[in-house]
Amino acid sequence: MASAAPLCHHPPVLKRVDLPPLTRRAHSSEWRGLWIRVAFAFGLIFLAFALLWLDRDGLRDNIDGHLSFSDILYFTMITVTTVGYGDIVPVTDRARLVDAFLITPIRVFLWLIFLGTAFDFLFKRGWEKLRMKNIQRGLRGHIVLAGFGHSGRKALEELVASGADIKNVVVIDCEEEAIQAARAAGAATIRGDASRDEILAAVHIERAASMVVSSGRDDSSILIVLTARHLARSFG
């Protein structure tokens, strides 16, 4: 056992709270969702500008009495952001109805987009981390896949083909690229050395239904298996 080289080289982890967290692929791309929302927001602003531009005769500029392109653009921005200075105001019934029934819904949708984006990037991430911690604590009857190289990926494909639920598989690997690939496949992941006690303890090896070792080296594979057996007996 002493001659087996560890899979990863990093400082020892002494506290359970310092262990790498369990992660899983998000249901959708956060950045893709962000750009869609930005595009939608600009589309709504453009629609508001078009409505105000077409109905500009119903507006009055209290500064110089003349409404230019920049004035309408300015009025659009302060209107959709609910900021009103009173320098440009609707004076006809039609202009007021446009503001009440067309511009106001646009304003509301824009605020919903902004609040939804803030929720996703501030609150949802924190909630996802908490959710994954709860999943990690409750791991039971899962499959641990140690190593996600070429053979590890083939092993995952065979597991899924045989009926295993991808969400019930936890992949351990040292390399971030391998972790990203496993996460993209839909498995839960944890980055670290599968031959280390604390990493196997973090995936609750004692409660796993089975373990597949694919480290790429015989000595490391033997060390992982012996460590897993030792921990399973210790916790059991």
Note the pLDDT of residue 1. Answer: 38
CB 223 within 8 A of CB 146: no
Q: Which amino acid is at 82?
A: T
pLDDT score recorded for residue 19: 55
Those residues of the chain that have pLDDT short of 50 are: 1-6, 9-17
- pLDDT at position 83 is 82
Q: Answer for the pair 34, 117: CB distance below 8 angstroms, yes or no.
A: yes
What's the half-sphere exposure (Cβ side, CA atoms, 13 Å) at 223?
18
Q: 187 and 169 in contact (C-beta within 8 Å)? A: yes
Alpha carbon 93 to its chain's center: 47
Confidence at residue 170, expressed as pLDDT on a 0 to 100 scale: 93
Q: Distance from first CA to last CA of the chain, Å, rounded?
A: 23
Q: 222: which DSSP letter?
A: H
The two three-digit tokens of residue 43, written as one number: 């589309």
Which residues, including other chains, have CB under 8 Å from residue 128's CB and lie 6 or more apart?
A: 26
Beta strands in the chain (DSSP E): 59-61, 88-90, 143-146, 169-173, 188-191, 210-213
DSSP for 126-183, written as a single string: HHHHHHHHHHHHT--S-EEEE--SHHHHHHHHHHHHTT--GGGEEEEES-HHHHHHHH
pTM: 0.55
| SS3 assignment, position 16 | helix
Amino acid present at 19: L
CB 224, CB 213: distance < 8 Å: yes
